[in-house]
Amino acid sequence: MGEERGGRGVARAHKGEMFGREEKVPQSKMTVVQYGILAIFLVLAFGLWRLQVAGSNRYETLAERNRIRTVPILAPRGKIVDREGRLIVDNFPSFSVMLLREQARHLSSHYDLIASGLHMSPDDIRDLVRRAAGEPSYQPILLKDDITPDELAFVEAHRSELPELETIMVHRRLYPRNGFLAHLIGYVGEVSDQDLNTPQFELYEPGDIVGKSGVEEYYNDLLMGKDGSRRAIVNSVGKEVGRLSETPAVPGKTLKLTIDLDLQMAAEQALNGKNGAIVAMDPRNGEILAMASRPTFDPNDFAVRISRAEWKQLVTDPDKPLMNKAIQAQLAPGSVFKIIMAIAGLQEGIAESMHVFCRGGATFYGRFFKCWQKGGHGEVGISKAITQSCDVFFYTLGERLGIEKIARYGTELGLGQKTGVDLPDEASGVMPSEEWKIRNYRQKWFAGETISVAIGQGAVTTTPIQLARAIGAITTGGRLVRPHVTFADDIERQRTELYGASYKPSTSSGPPAMEDLNFNPQNVNTITEAMVGVVNPGGTAALSHLEGVDFAGKTGSAQTVSNQAKERLGLNAKDNGWFVGITPHQDPHLVVAVLFQEGEHGALAARIAAQVVKAYVDKQRMREQKTAQRKRPQTVEMAALWSEADGQGHGHLHGGTFVVPVAGPAAAPLKAAPGLAAAAAPSRPAKRAIAAPDGVLAEPRRRGGRG
């Protein structure tokens, strides 16, 4: 028993020692545990520092965004007015709906309600949200442009239920109706992805509205203005409960054009129903007074969003309605080119004493060249050659001058190069020469080609504005001006205001504002006197004579297809008609170039020009008379004698006075472009069909909404 108790005691002692060793943690393990706890506290401390100190601005911004909403205030584009301050382009208010994704907790559940209120398809909304998934969530999505009053009322009535919807007022463009001045004005559209990759638009954002053609594009920086913003306080469901501050938008600059609305109206009416172009310019300073191109398009269709069907109609129309033919139509000038031949021949001392006998054609370099007058013109000198447009005379003059001299004078007068007019996408035309043919075709120039060029056919092509500039230079004694549609002083002043003292005027490599070619006054007089004969009996445009108006000009007809091709292919292609007129014929104040496509004869183009010239002269005379029209009495008293027979057949003489109404004055000058009220609050334009519309411009980017 004693041994047993003794054994149990030893066992208990041994067990106590064993438990004592198990409860004691090794120092190494304790150290690891301590460092682990320290590391955890350090991580927690770093996270707290990152949230409270390093990231305080970011999280403060996020918190602020939950409480404050910034709503953009879009700047209206600048108005466009004519030289007398009459309204051409204005703006009208329109509302667009934006989707604010940050304000919606269950956005997908609202699609059906939003779609029904905005007259959209739920699938369209889902598609817009899906396409914007890669963009930051704070960036709003444009749901619909130019919403109707009932759609606007829907958004306002569902502010609490649909906090993700926000409306924004946009100033849409209001253009003249019926395509009036459309090509010069241009149109606007959303800046495209392709545009954003160009230096011109590198500072713009997707969705910005910018000019796409015409002066809207060329002077976009002045017309755009600067957007403002409004900071509003919103509650937890996104409803606006107060306003903090507002930065007003700065409207774009008002753009004043050199256009005269009265003259423009005359040009538009004269060209109505025809294909072609008109340019009316002051040859003394280059101011464009009127510019029209037909067919035209309605820029109001671009004010919101043009549909794909309408755009397709525009770009596939064979008559190219988007092309500004005044500066882009490159066609053979026909006999109008003979004026350039005449100044070259006279300046070189060849044409003044040159006479030919026209029998209806002549042979040059082994080939017979016809004159347009089959019976011939008989004995012809320089004056008769211009007045009656004798081809044989100018064939002979071309042979004697040679292509290099012809090309030199043509180039000096601006052919084969851009005029520098302040409009985008101007064409340069072609003034052929030996060097030009080698450079472009790797072929030598043949002497026979000079004969065709001498009458404005062959390789030579010009635009209407080039012809207006060249003929204007010749008839003013060599004053070659750069055409322009705005006033340079106004543009420089506005850009200085916009960009500050750092602004430096452009020093582009374009043509100078004015060059003096110093033509011999006697040579100029010979040409202008002969041009007077063109619009008088015996001339090629005698029916365009304007009684009491000092009017002169030159006709031209140019083939669109050679006679051989017509016969071979059985075509019925008509010639283009050209005319360039001036008034007065000495030191002219106006030059009018007319292109009448498929007009067959220059005489028909001359009738178009005569309407513009008459409108110009009538307006000048009204200005000289000043208030004579307004002071004219409404009635005038007149005396009269008459006889009446009595019942027995005896006549009796009677006398008396009558008050006779006076015919009203001539049509009053326009107060604004057609479709625009003189007041500055026009109504929203109605949607109109496109009359006839070229696809030289990029399609405006579509981010959603209609079409």
Residue 411 CB burial class (10 angstroms; 0-12, 13-18, ≥19): middle
> What integer pLDDT is reported at residue 55 of this predicted model?
61
Does a structural domain hold residue 12? no
Residues 374 and 230 grouped into a single domain: no
DSSP letter at 85 equals: -
Helices (H), 198-251: 214-218, 220-223
Residues 234 and 337 grouped into a single domain: no
Separation between Cα atoms, residue 431 and residue 419, nearest integer Å: 13
In this structure, are residues 473 and 479 in contact, taking their beta carbons and an 8 Å threshold?
A: yes
Residues 250 and 345 grouped into a single domain: no
Domain of 210, CATH number, reads 3.90.1310.10
Residues 85 and 198 grouped into a single domain: yes
Please identify, among 485, 517, 551, the residue that sits at the C-terminal boundary of a domain: 551
- The residue type of 653 is L
Predicted confidence (pLDDT) per residue in 331-387, tens digit: 999 999 999 999 999 999 999 999 999 999 999 999 999 999 999 999 999 999 999
What percent of the chain lies above the pLDDT cut of 70?
80
Residues of the chain with pLDDT under 70: 1-25, 51-67, 103-105, 235-240, 506-509, 561-572, 626-634, 636, 638, 640-656, 660, 662-668, 677-707
Separation between Cα atoms, residue 602 and residue 695, nearest integer Å: 29
Q: Which helix (H) or strand (E) holds 52?
A: none
Q: Tally Cβ neighbours within 10 Å of residue 293.
A: 31
Structurally, how many domains does the chain consist of?
Answer: 2
Q: Which of these, 482, 474, 467, lies nearest to 586 by C-alpha position?
A: 474
Please identify, among 499, 516, 551, the residue that sits at the C-terminal boundary of a domain: 551
CB within 8 Å of 206: residues ≥ 6 apart: 190, 191, 193, 196, 701, 703
Q: Which residues pair with 211 in a beta bridge?
A: 188
Predicted confidence (pLDDT) per residue in 53-81, tens digit: 666 666 555 555 556 777 778 899 999 99
Question: What pTM does this model have?
Answer: 0.79
Domain of residue 477, residue span: 330-551
Q: Which helix (H) or strand (E) holds 562?
A: none
DSSP letter at 476 equals: T
Residues 512 and 367 grouped into a single domain: yes
> What integer pLDDT is reported at residue 82 of this predicted model?
96
Does a structural domain hold residue 647? no
Residues 402 and 506 grouped into a single domain: yes
584: which 2 tokens?
A: 């007065």
> What integer pLDDT is reported at residue 685 of this predicted model?
45
Does a structural domain hold residue 309? no
DSSP letter at 672 equals: B
> What integer pLDDT is reported at residue 104 of this predicted model?
61
Does a structural domain hold residue 288? no
End-to-end Cα distance, the chain: 110
Does a structural domain hold residue 626? no
Please identify, among 501, 530, 551, the residue that sits at the C-terminal boundary of a domain: 551
In this structure, are residues 636 and 659 in contact, taking their beta carbons and an 8 Å threshold?
A: yes
- The residue type of 255 is L
In this structure, are residues 262 and 619 in contact, taking their beta carbons and an 8 Å threshold?
A: yes
Does a structural domain hold residue 491? yes
Does a structural domain hold residue 363? yes
Cα separation values, 435 from 341, 356, 429, 442, Å = 20, 30, 16, 9
Domain of 476, CATH number, reads 3.40.710.10
Q: Which of these, 610, 476, 471, 585, lies nearest to 529 by C-alpha position?
A: 585
Does a structural domain hold residue 698? no
501: which 2 tokens?
A: 């003292």
Residues 220 and 77 grouped into a single domain: yes
> What integer pLDDT is reported at residue 683 of this predicted model?
43
